[in-house]
Amino acid sequence: MVRKALAAATTVLLGLTGLVVLATPAAADPLRIHAAARGVYIGDAVDNNEITDTTYRPLIGQEYNALTPGNAMKWDTTEPTRGQFNYARGDEIVNLAKANNQIVRGHTLVWHNQTPSWVQNLSAADTLTALQNHISNVVTHYRGQLYAWDVVNEPLNEDGTLRNSFWFQKLGSSYIAEAFRAARAADPNVKLYINDYNTDGMGAKSDGMFSLVQSLLAQGVPIDGVGFQAHLATQFGFPNQMQQNLQRFAALGLDVAITELDVRMQLPADATKLATQATYYRDVVNACLAVARCVGITTWGYTDKYSWVPSTFPGEGAALLVDENFQVKPAYTAVHDALAAGTTPDTTPPTTPGTPTAANVTATGATLSWTASTDSGGSGLSGYNIYREQGTTDPLLGQSTSNSTTLTGLTPSTQYQVFVRARDGSGNLSTPSATVTFTTSEGPAVGPCRVAYTATSWGGGGGFTAGVTITNTGTTTVTSWTLAFTFPSGQRVSQGWNANWSQAQGSANVTATNMSYNGTLAPNASTQAGFNGTFTGTNTAPSAFTLNGMNCAVA
């Protein structure tokens, strides 16, 4: 109804101005509002290269209230070399989700694809150790930040038997239970899923999944949900009895979710195929909505511009809700209308929060509290976003579910102007509160040292060379030194010179101690050391250094 009202308003506008209005989705009536009103989430799968697309980026936040990283949390990205973990790409997507008030499904911990060869070449005993260590590290890193994890992905053959993957060959069926146990040990709250494709309807493969899940439950394995990928194709028909299939898993006491929905077709697309595609999308949404334990639907991308389909299934494509130019397809309207059917979306934001007051202001933290907002739109108050006012951009400092928060990680001796906005269950944000202004106190005294750090990335990316120049700015001679700093974006030291460099596995903290020949630094003397390292994504320089435990000026 809202959509019809908007369409009518657009027609009036067109009549008045004669302007051509692009058929992009109406911001006031996005999918996420309707999904929230129906008690489900609507998710998008995104990759790091896509979220820098200035047309796409705002649509991700506008339309969706959940995200899945398409690749950023897979093993080949998170642990390409044994014991060296890279979270920069996954963190980037989690941070986008936070800014957009979206939940995140982690994808995926154990899979036979996109797993480095070092894992595939281990002995059986070492395979189990590597699996447990990987899950422990990755799940711990994201603890408290994700809604769910796809713990085991695609374990089944088409006939419903267990896939003869390297996991199965080394560990037998036990790898599945081991993976879930390791994930639960690392995060007691995140929902743990098993996930597969061609299990969407009743059939041999979904029967196999049903037996597998029953046996996991019988063994007391900590599993919370079953993911149905729903990579569909118009030429193969709609899955058989999808709603009944979801329902039988839900009846085991588990959540179910549509995790990777897309509906491809043989190219070229035409009006008939696009209309068929729209009915598939509609019927998947309706199957989920009809099952109380179906928690949400994730489309495997939003725009055909970034779909995985054309490069994976030659001659097929056009699988998503909007085309390469972000123009709405019948599929978008079908999903929208299925979610919107019979509901009044909550478009009323909560009331404006009171002006925050700041207490316990330290060099790096402060406690803020404010008078709570109320929400009358139907979806209920869900929390507050806390922003710093800073010229044209207002970065998000944190989120809170109550009307107070403790800020950490602030910069010493710095003035902060902070305001809060309340948000409701549909993602509506209130108007901003008035700002509170406070200034953090001075940080610890700067010691008699100065450090200059430079890093140069190598041509193809991934590798870099860094140099540090350490200067004694004090009045007494230093006879030995230990330099310490923390990498901000997952970098690793590989090999260094002019110091003994050390970085523990899984840690971002680096120390360098002097060699026999460069430990003595007279007042004003400098020495240089360096290392080669690796990075993924960004290669942000460390922001702070200590020498013999004292903070140094950074040149």
Catalytic amino acids?
Answer: 154, 260
304 binds ligand XIL (CB under 6 A): no
In the list 308, 438, 485, 545, the residue contacting ligand XIL (rule: CB under 6 A) is 308
Lay out the sheet containing 404-407: strands in order across. 357-359, 366-369, 404-407
CA-closest candidate to residue 531, choices 455, 449, 472: 455
Q: Considering the complex, state which of residue 249 and residue 487 has its C-beta at the smaller distance from ligand XIL.
A: 249
User: Please, what is the minimum distance in Å from the beta carbon of residue 297 to ligand XIL?
Assistant: 15
DSSP per-residue string spanning 492-528: EEEEEESSEEEE-TT--EEEEE--TTS--B-TT-EEE
227 binds ligand XIL (CB under 6 A): no
Q: Considering the complex, state which of residue 48 and residue 102 has its C-beta at the smaller distance from ligand XIL.
A: 48
User: Please, what is the minimum distance in Å from the beta carbon of residue 210 to ligand XIL?
Assistant: 19
CA-closest candidate to residue 423, choices 406, 445, 403: 403
In the list 102, 199, 229, 472, the residue contacting ligand XIL (rule: CB under 6 A) is 229
What is the rounded CA–CA span in Å between residue 60 and residue 68? 11
Lay out the sheet containing 526-534: strands in order across. 492-497, 526-534, 463-472, 446-457, 550-554, 545-547, 482-486, 509-513, 500-503
User: Please, what is the minimum distance in Å from the beta carbon of residue 70 to ligand XIL?
Assistant: 4
What is the rounded CA–CA span in Å between residue 29 and residue 320? 19
User: Please, what is the minimum distance in Å from the beta carbon of residue 260 to ligand XIL?
Assistant: 6
For residue 359, what are its two tokens? 């207490």
DSSP per-residue string spanning 183-220: HHHH-SSSEEEEEESS-SSSSHHHHHHHHHHHHHHHTT
In the shown chain, the binding pattern of residues 251 to 270 toward ligand XIL, with x for contact by CB under 6 A and - for none, equals ---------x----------
User: Please, what is the minimum distance in Å from the beta carbon of residue 272 to ligand XIL?
Assistant: 26
Q: Considering the complex, state which of residue 229 and residue 433 has its C-beta at the smaller distance from ligand XIL.
A: 229
What is the rounded CA–CA span in Å between residue 276 and residue 237? 10
In the list 48, 65, 71, 433, the residue contacting ligand XIL (rule: CB under 6 A) is 71
In the shown chain, the binding pattern of residues 13 to 52 toward ligand XIL, with x for contact by CB under 6 A and - for none, equals ----------------------------------------
For residue 469, what are its two tokens? 């120049």
User: Please, what is the minimum distance in Å from the beta carbon of residue 307 to ligand XIL?
Assistant: 8
In the shown chain, the binding pattern of residues 79 to 118 toward ligand XIL, with x for contact by CB under 6 A and - for none, equals ----------------------------------------
Q: Considering the complex, state which of residue 229 and residue 373 has its C-beta at the smaller distance from ligand XIL.
A: 229
Q: Considering the complex, state which of residue 249 and residue 308 has its C-beta at the smaller distance from ligand XIL.
A: 308
Cis, peptide link before residue 108, omega less than 30° from 0: yes
Q: Considering the complex, state which of residue 194 and residue 340 has its C-beta at the smaller distance from ligand XIL.
A: 194
Q: Considering the complex, state which of residue 115 and residue 153 has its C-beta at the smaller distance from ligand XIL.
A: 153
User: Please, what is the minimum distance in Å from the beta carbon of residue 43 to ligand XIL?
Assistant: 13
Across 14-81, the runs of DSSP E, i.e. the strands, are 41-46, 66-69
One-letter amino acid for residue 455 of the chain: A
Query: CB neighbours of 38 closer than 8 A, spacing ≥ 6?
Result: 289, 339, 343
The residue count for binding ligand XIL (CB under 6 A) is: 6
In the shown chain, the binding pattern of residues 318 to 357 toward ligand XIL, with x for contact by CB under 6 A and - for none, equals ----------------------------------------
* Contact by Cβ (8 Å): 430, 532: no
User: Please, what is the minimum distance in Å from the beta carbon of residue 308 to ligand XIL?
Assistant: 4
What is the rounded CA–CA span in Å between residue 382 and residue 404? 14
φ/ψ (deg, to 5) at 450: -140, 140
The kind and range of the H/E element at 357 are: strand 357-359
For residue 236, what are its two tokens? 């193969």
153 binds ligand XIL (CB under 6 A): yes
Q: Considering the complex, state which of residue 100 and residue 229 has its C-beta at the smaller distance from ligand XIL.
A: 229
Binding site for ligand XIL (CB under 6 A): 70-71, 153, 229, 260, 308
